[in-house]
Amino acid sequence: MKRYKVLKEGMISPFQNFKYEIGKKYVCKDFDDDKNEDCSNGFYATGIEGILYTNLSNNKKVYECEVSGKSVEIDQFKMRYQNLKIIREIPMPELKKLVKAESDKLGYDLYHALFPINPLEIKRTGKVTDHEKALLKQWIAVRYSVRDSVRDSVGDSARDSVRDSVRYSVGDSVGYSVGYSVGDSVWASVWASVWDSARAYISSLFPGIKKWKYIEYEGGKNPFQSCIDLWHIGLVPSFDGKTWRLHAGKGAKIVYELKEK
């Protein structure tokens, strides 16, 4: 049976630091077939959706595997097998095609969960426009609803894995870049506001949700679309308790400021 496994540099397991080799068959002699144990003895590998659990941050690679023998498949993220053999590394273009095909079958955007947009890598020219300033004001009006709304509206097994994938792939780097551009004295406030922006982006990965909790808005639309639009055009909002800012480009340069009244 074909499965996939995510490994760190040097073909090392991200969780057990076990080093694998291509073509070698691994056999677990004390395989645990208890389905109530989601982390136990056996070799773990999953379908394409399951690689989201480990995410692809820090240059991890995905490998095609062959599994056999006893098995325990708890959910899409937790599958372990008695026997495993690493067949080959999946080249990135092929992996993206596999992920895109799988994403089209799911109720969320697996592709952009694994390969999220980094707004600070989007090249911008010119000054912040009136439209972009208006988007910031719209975001300010709804920002405080985003944390609970996204958490409780999504509320399924994919939510945490999507969040972690976005965080480790782009969220932390964006947060640190913005934080350093503003200054350590307001780090906590700025970090929280940037992560609210990331949550808005995460909400866009669940297009099947028709009603977002804890906020009044026009039905059929995403109430956090203003921040999603800013993210897609390369602008990251931050707030230090007194001033809203928009950041762009390498180093998260401050390109616009708005004092809160």
Q: In this structure, are residues 230 and 246 in contact, taking their beta carbons and an 8 Å threshold?
A: yes
Looking at residues 114-127, what average pLDDT do you find?
A: 95
Q: 14, 7 in Cβ contact below 8 A?
A: yes
User: pTM to 2 decimals?
Assistant: 0.92
pLDDT score for 210: 86
Mean pLDDT of 233-250: 95
When pLDDT is averaged across residues 235-250 and rounded to a whole number, the result is 95
Quick: pLDDT tens for 201-233: 999 999 988 889 999 988 778 999 999 999 999
Stated as kind and residue range, the H or E segment containing 102 is helix 92-103
Question: How far is 118 from 51, CA to CA, in rounded Å?
Answer: 20
Q: How far apart are the first and last CA of the chain?
A: 61
Is residue 136 within 8 Å of residue 230, measured between CB atoms?
Answer: yes
Per residue in 145-173, pLDDT tens?
Answer: 999 999 999 876 688 899 999 999 999 99
The pLDDT of residue 11: 98
CB 56 within 8 A of CB 169: yes
Mean pLDDT of all residues in 117-131 = 95
CB atoms within 10 A of CB 136: 21
Q: What is the pLDDT at residue 186? A: 75
Residues in contact with 41: Cβ distance below 8 Å, sequence separation at least 6, in sequence order: 28, 30, 31, 32, 80
Residue 119: which of 190, 55, 169 has the closest Cα? 169
pLDDT tens digits, 30-41: 999 999 999 999
Of the candidates 49, 44, 46, 48, the one whose C-alpha atom is nearest the C-alpha of residue 14 is: 44
